[in-house]
């Protein structure tokens, strides 16, 4: 095979890439634009309560008719954030079970490091009307990128008929959320709080207020997050303003407070995910943090001094969302996979490992009394985790009380690009050190 020399021969082997190009359906730019236009019309019709199915829109990507035509390809390319799924000896038990029962192979890729740079990587393909290489991507609701995908019609509306587990088991937190009413495009992967983490050996009287981040007592030992949307929201909470109801003049006041915090020498640095390492090392004593990180660090007995505080001003609640980018080649496999994670048995295995806020409340019972394949999976994971499943099941950070959820705060919902620019112009200079 490998050495076919056929210069000048007409009937010889043709470059496989050329074959693909000739045999596979391609979207031209005009077609793509046509689809976008039609998508918009159907979206508008849907908003006005009409059933959008009409002759012209029948084959629109994501319509019921379009979904009916899709076939399983027994493969799905899943792009997720690192350390976000159960791992056992380099494999993922939950995904293995999925492959065993459905025959769909999952290429699980931990390629999303942050929303902005991941979006930059998939955008050129989407803009050119091409497959991004991923059938499922996970984006956070607190950054603008998920909104951009919806605005630009770059997400495939989900197949309502394939959301059986979701409809049955999804918790109130992730069912028809404010950033995606009716779960038109997304299903949550996990949620979490951006709260405060501290070392209880070094911090004796933490109190219950966000003011600890602005306390001169901890000058040079306070870590802040470098995500402008996280940083700005904490600034708003600190001046007593609810981020979701804030105005531009509130943003300016919050930025002033954060500038002051910086010039007073309170901030050690603005960190990305690396803050947790610095908190463990003792470089910083108190820091903005993501809830699951602290819980995971606690599991390791060496770092049990790290404590999570949900401040009385409220903790920011975010959700990472699974969605199907347009031009996905395996949308039906993606739908099947996404819904599979709403089975409480599956979710119990995922949650035992990753300790963020579980989108499936019934997974708690499955952690305490597993009823199926998850029994063996949880048991085999136990030596790795080192704690009984009941600890995860009873953790308020994984299955929070309604009171906790009510006390959490949502992010500001940007209404235009101008607003995003205004926000960035206020908070980015603080982080970038100007």
**Residue that the structure tokens 């050329």 belong to:** 18
**Judged by CB under 8 A, which of 12, 21, 50, 124 binds another protein?**
124
Residues 138-157 that bind another protein (CB under 8 A): 144, 148, 151-152
SS3 content of the chain, % helix, strand, coil (to 5): 45, 15, 40
Q: Is 49 in the site for another protein (CB under 8 A)?
A: no
Q: What is the Cα–Cα distance from 142 to 204, expressed in whole angstroms?
A: 32
Tell me if residue 32 falls in helix, strand or coil: helix
**Residue that the structure tokens 């603008």 belong to:** 144
Q: Is 270 in the site for another protein (CB under 8 A)?
A: yes
- The answer to whether 138 and 192 have CB atoms below 8 angstroms apart is no
- The answer to whether 242 and 409 have CB atoms below 8 angstroms apart is yes
- The piece of 98-106, 156-164, 297-305, 423-431 that touches another protein (CB under 8 A) is 423-431
Q: Is 307 in the site for another protein (CB under 8 A)?
A: no
Q: Is 123 in the site for another protein (CB under 8 A)?
A: yes
Compare residues 340 and 411 and give the one whose CB is closer to another protein: 411
- Rg value, the chain, Cα: 24
**Judged by CB under 8 A, which of 31, 117, 164, 178 binds another protein?**
117
**Judged by CB under 8 A, which of 10, 23, 281, 402 binds another protein?**
281
HEC readout, 157-199:
CCCHHHCHHHHHHCCCCCCCCCCCHHHCCEEEEEEEEEEEEEE
Compare residues 181 and 433 and give the one whose CB is closer to another protein: 433
**Considering the complex, what minimum distance in angstroms separates the CB of residue 152 from another protein?**
6
Size of the site for another protein (CB under 8 A): 25
Give CA separation, 9 vs 5, 16, 111, in Å.
9, 16, 43
Compare residues 209 and 269 and give the one whose CB is closer to another protein: 269
**Considering the complex, what minimum distance in angstroms separates the CB of residue 286 from another protein?**
16
**Which string of x and - marks every residue 211-240 that binds another protein (by CB under 8 A)?**
---------------x--------------
Q: Is 433 in the site for another protein (CB under 8 A)?
A: yes
**Considering the complex, what minimum distance in angstroms separates the CB of residue 139 from another protein?**
13
**Considering the complex, what minimum distance in angstroms separates the CB of residue 226 from another protein?**
7
- The answer to whether 364 and 393 have CB atoms below 8 angstroms apart is yes
The two three-digit tokens of residue 321, written as one number = 């969302």
**Judged by CB under 8 A, which of 138, 158, 231, 420 binds another protein?**
420
Tell me if residue 137 falls in helix, strand or coil: strand
- The answer to whether 239 and 254 have CB atoms below 8 angstroms apart is yes
Give CA separation, 327 vs 56, 74, 78, in Å.
20, 17, 14
Q: What is the Cα–Cα distance from 329 to 72, expressed in whole angstroms?
A: 10
Q: Is 178 in the site for another protein (CB under 8 A)?
A: no
Q: Is 39 in the site for another protein (CB under 8 A)?
A: no
Q: What is the dihedral of CA 203, 209, 213, 215, to 10 degrees?
A: -70
Q: What is the Cα–Cα distance from 182 to 198, expressed in whole angstroms?
A: 38
**Considering the complex, what minimum distance in angstroms separates the CB of residue 113 from another protein?**
10
- The piece of 75-83, 302-310, 345-353, 426-434 that touches another protein (CB under 8 A) is 426-434
Site residues (vs another protein, CB under 8 A): 114, 116-117, 120, 123-124, 127, 144, 148, 151-152, 226, 269-270, 281, 283, 417, 420, 424, 428-429, 431-434
């Amino acid at each position: 095979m490998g050495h076919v020399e056929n210069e000048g021969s007409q009937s010889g082997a043709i470059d496989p890439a050329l074959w693909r190009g000739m045999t596979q359906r391609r979207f031209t730019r005009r077609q793509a634009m046509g689809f976008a236009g039609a998508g918009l019309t159907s979206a508008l019709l849907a908003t006005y309560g009409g059933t959008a199915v009409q002759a012209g829109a029948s084959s629109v990507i994501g319509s019921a008719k379009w979904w009916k035509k899709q076939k399983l390809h027994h493969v799905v390319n899943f792009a997720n954030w690192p350390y976000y799924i159960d791992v056992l000896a380099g494999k993922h038990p939950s995904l293995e079970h999925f492959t065993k029962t459905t025959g769909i192979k999952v290429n699980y890729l931990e390629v999303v490091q942050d929303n902005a740079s991941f979006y930059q990587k998939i955008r050129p393909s989407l803009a050119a009307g091409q497959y991004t290489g991923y059938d499922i991507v996970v984006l956070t609701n607190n950054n603008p990128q998920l909104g951009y995908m919806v605005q630009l019609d770059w997400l495939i509306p989900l197949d309502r008929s394939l959301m059986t587990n979701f409809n049955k088991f999804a918790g109130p937190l992730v069912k028809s959320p404010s950033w995606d009413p009716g779960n038109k495009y997304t299903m949550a992967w996990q949620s979490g709080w951006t709260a405060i983490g501290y070392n209880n050996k070094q911090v004796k009287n933490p109190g219950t207020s966000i003011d600890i981040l602005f306390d001169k007592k901890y000058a040079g030992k306070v870590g802040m997050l470098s995500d402008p949307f996280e940083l700005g929201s904490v600034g708003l909470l600190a001046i007593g303003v609810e981020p979701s109801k804030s105005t531009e003049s509130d943003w300016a006041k919050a930025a002033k407070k954060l500038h002051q915090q910086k010039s007073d020498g309170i901030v050690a640095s603005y960190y990305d995910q690396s803050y947790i390492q610095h908190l463990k090392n003792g470089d910083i004593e108190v820091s903005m943090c993501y809830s699951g990180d602290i819980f995971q660090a606690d599991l390791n007995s060496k770092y049990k001094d790290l404590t999570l505080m949900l401040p009385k001003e409220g903790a920011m609640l975010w959700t990472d969302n699974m969605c199907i980018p347009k031009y996905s080649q395996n949308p039906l496999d993606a739908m099947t996979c996404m819904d599979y994670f709403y089975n409480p048995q599956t979710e119990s295995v995922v949650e035992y490992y990753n300790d963020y806020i579980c989108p499936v409340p019934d997974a708690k019972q499955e952690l305490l009394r597993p009823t199926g394949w998850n029994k063996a999976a949880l048991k085999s994971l136990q030596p790795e985790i080192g704690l009984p499943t009941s600890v995860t099941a009873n953790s308020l950070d994984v299955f929070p009380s309604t009171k906790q959820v009510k006390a959490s705060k949502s992010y500001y919902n940007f209404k235009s690009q101008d607003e995003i620019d205004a926000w960035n112009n206020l908070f980015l200079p603080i982080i970038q050190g100007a």
